[in-house]
Amino acid sequence: MEPPLPLAGLNILVVDDDDDSRFYITTVLEADGANVTAVASAVAALEVLADWQPDVFICDIAMPGEDGYTLIRKIRALKADRGGQVPAVALTAYADSEDRIRALEAGFQTHVPKPVDPGELVEIVANVVASCAS
């Protein structure tokens, strides 16, 4: 009997302006059982959140228009039933300690530097969900 996939049944919103990054993240997460909606901008993410509440939010920081810091602040300002408390992962090329602190202060639960190993990404997402559920 196969063990259950680590992300089975999780609904994940991925926001990244880079097509290749969105494809990679989506492929990795779906291979481990997640249902993924991927969008290319902060505006699109807020539109999705108006109608759908993901279990996890994964967001790039450097995006044209609104960056990930601005987006997570807007999400955190939402009521809980509109997605305001969704566990959030900053997945970004901005990888130094100051960037990590800035991401956490903005409202992300964790900060993950790109590139990320597929197994590590799955483990990080599962851990964020588990820690926010307890």
Q: Look up the CATH number of the domain holding residue 85.
A: 3.40.50.2300
Residue 32 lies inside a defined structural domain of this protein: yes
Residue 1: pLDDT over 80: no
In this prediction, residue 42 carries a pLDDT of 97
The total number of structural domains in the chain stands at: 1
Residue-number span of the structural domain to which 35 is assigned: 11-129
Residue 2: band (very low, low, confident or very high) from pLDDT cuts 50, 70, 90: low
For residue 126, what are the CA distances in angstroms to 12, 33, 44, 50, 129?
Answer: 11, 11, 25, 24, 5
Residue 1 lies inside a defined structural domain of this protein: no
Rounded CA separation 92/42 (Å)? 15
Residue 34: band (very low, low, confident or very high) from pLDDT cuts 50, 70, 90: very high
Q: What is the pTM of this model?
A: 0.95
3-state secondary structure of 2: coil
In this prediction, residue 81 carries a pLDDT of 85
